[in-house]
Amino acid sequence: MKIHLDLDAFFIAAERIKDPSLQDVPAAVGGRGDPFIFDSKSAHKIDTVHDNNGAFVPSIFYNADANFRDYFVEGGKIRGIIITASYEARKYGIKTGMTVREALELCPHLRVVAPNHLFYHQLSHRLHLFLKRRIPAVEQFSIDEFFGDVSGWVEREELEDFLRSLQKEIEERFGLPISIGAAKSKWTAKLATSFAKPQGIKIVDDVESFIRDIPIEEFPGIGRGYLRRLRTLGITTLGETRQIRHIFYSWKKPGITLYRRIWGIDDEPIVQASPRKSIGISRTIDPVSDRGELRRRILILARHLSSSIAKLRLQPTYYTLGVRYENGLKTKAHLRSHRLFSEKLLQCIALELFSQCDDGYTPVMRLGISCSGFYASKLYDLWHIYEDKKLARLLECSQKVRTKFGMDSLRWGVEMLEAAKPPGENIS
């Protein structure tokens, strides 16, 4: 049997550990997408995390110890969106993705707190380590979800007792409520968990009778494209998909995979550790037209990203910069380079990619840089190797300073200069 564990309203549960007065009341964690990373003064503490392999969370966090007014109020207006709402708050119709202002209209006594992603991350990491000691194979699926394989470890007759004691132990040790689903396959187990919430356990033995009347949109990870196609075919429940098995199979591999997942016959294993494929940083911002300011922000993103890359000792060979404009249009540019990684290299590449893909005038709403194509061997561009080695060494040293004194303690002068430059001028 495979199991799926999902923490209930994780972020708010975590906040309740720190502040018990949030217990049993409508409460929510709201977020503002790290608006302070671009501040030119380093008034805010920014933390980085590097042991998040597989947790799919950003590695750079603005550490919010701020009160409601400091964090959510700007220019007399309430900003931010709800990230997680407690079950008490959900009774008022408060949902993830709603603006904080809307949520407060629905429930004026709602307690909204700023997020502390670093703390959630640490909790999640500790829970992962704990689960690895209790279950033979554990896969971290997201910051608050895990898959496990208990085949040959727990007999079917003992499974419910085992899961109950596991659930109880997690609650006692971590103070975190959790729901658990179990089935022969991962995706059926995940679907089962959604029926166990909150703080429940659901074991599925007979997939066919379990999924028969479940609406198709409730299946984990079913895309909008498939939903539309299935609706056109008149399919509304998971049970009905059996009649059109041949159609799923005509959709080739993704269609076949989906069909097998729905019927719990996929046999997908628990993946204990996945090698890192890419690492990136991106931020949504209030629209900015000033190209100098945008270049300054790109340099800040490059600084944070290069610090993460240095800590993980990665040698990327593929670089991507993405821009989203206020009008909804997106643009991207890529570059392959075998030069030894350094912060300076990332800065130059990022600015070069920006000049390649940017139209030069449309207000920008989102900036992102990512690196991939990690290299294990030592095949470098020899033309620049002496200069690159010096720069790589410099990054190593900067890293020590930043670990000790924070990400803003050391910056390249060019970050400050960029903002003052006239538009169109390039860096060399």
Nearer to Mg ion, 144 or 358 (CB): 144
**Contact of 233 with 247, CB cutoff 8 Å:** yes
Where does this chain touch Mg ion (CB under 5 A) — which range of 6-14, 214-222, 321-329, 349-357? 6-14
Interacting residue with Mg ion among 1, 3, 4, 6 (CB under 5 A): 6
- Residue number with CB closer to Mg ion (85 or 345): 85
- Per-residue contact track with Mg ion, 272 to 311, x per CB under 5 A? ----------------------------------------
Task: For Mg ion, give the closer residue by CB, 178 or 407.
Answer: 178
- By beta-carbon proximity to Mg ion, the closer residue of 101 and 197 is 197
Select 196 or 345, whichever has its Cβ closest to Mg ion. Answer: 196
CB of 139 to Mg ion, least distance (A): 15
- Looking at the Cβ atoms of 6 and 358, the one nearer to Mg ion is 6
Q: Identify which range of 7-15, 108-116, 209-217, 270-278 contacts Mg ion by CB under 5 A.
A: 7-15
Stretch that binds Mg ion, among 47-55, 125-133, 136-144, 382-390 (CB under 5 A): 136-144
Q: Where are the beta strands (DSSP E) in 93-165?
A: 111-113, 137-142, 145-149
Piece of 1-9, 97-105, 373-381, 404-412 that binds Mg ion (CB under 5 A): 1-9
Q: How far is the CB of 82 from Mg ion (least distance, A)?
A: 14
Q: What is the 3-state secondary structure (H, E, C) of 63-78?
A: CCCCCHHHHHEECCEE
- Write b or e for each residue in 165-177: b if 16 or more Cβ atoms lie within 10 A of its Cβ, otherwise e: ebbeebeeebebb
Instruction: Report how many residues bind Mg ion under the rule CB under 5 A.
Output: 3
Euclidean distance between CA atoms 296 and 310, whole angstroms:
21
HSE-CB at 254 with a 13 A cutoff on CA atoms is 6
Angle in degrees, CA 95, 97, 99, rounded to 5: 90
By C-beta, is 81 or 348 nearer to Mg ion? Answer: 81
For the CB of residue 6, give the shortest distance to Mg ion in the complex, in Å: 4
72 Cβ contact partners less than 8 Å away, ≥ 6 residues apart: 30, 32, 78, 79, 80, 100, 112, 114
Shortest gap between Cβ of 271 and Mg ion (angstroms)? 19
Q: How far is CA 414 from the centre of its chain?
A: 30
Of 46-65, binders to Mg ion (CB under 5 A) are: none
Per DSSP, what are the bridge partners of residue 366?
Answer: 284, 324
Catalytic status, residue 105: no
User: Rule CB under 5 A: is residue 144 a binding residue for Mg ion?
Assistant: yes
Distance CA 337, CA 380 (A): 9
Q: Where are the alpha helices (DSSP H) in 175-235?
A: 186-196, 207-211, 224-232
**Binding range to Mg ion, per CB under 5 A, among 138-146, 161-169, 381-389, 419-427:** 138-146
Q: Which amino acid would we find at residue 58?
A: P
Q: Which is nearer to Mg ion, 11 or 226 (CB)?
A: 11
- 89 or 230: CB nearest Mg ion: 89
Residue 34's contacts (CB-CB under 8 Å, 6 or more residues apart) are 60, 61, 62, 283
Stretch that binds Mg ion, among 50-58, 63-71, 137-145, 340-348 (CB under 5 A): 137-145
Residues between 65 and 104 that touch Mg ion (CB under 5 A)? none
Angle between helices 117-134 and 156-174 (to 10 degrees): 140
In the range 224-243, which residues lie near Mg ion by CB under 5 A?
A: none
What is the Cα–Cα distance from 131 to 133, expressed in whole angstroms? 5
Residue 127 CB, nearest approach to Mg ion (Å): 12
The Cα–Cα gap between 306 and 283 comes to 16
Q: How far apart are CA 33 and CA 366, in angstroms?
A: 11
Cβ at position 144, least distance to Mg ion in Å:
4
Catalytic residue among 145, 343, 415, 418: 145
320 touches 334 (CB < 8 A): yes
Q: How far is the CB of 133 from Mg ion (least distance, A)?
A: 22
CB of 413 to Mg ion, least distance (A): 44
Q: Are 323 and 366 in contact (CB under 8 A)?
A: yes
Minimal distance, residue 198 CB to Mg ion, in Å: 9
Are 320 and 340 in contact, with CB atoms under 8 Å apart?
no
Which residues are known catalytic residues? 145
Q: Which residues bind Mg ion (CB under 5 A)?
A: 6-7, 144
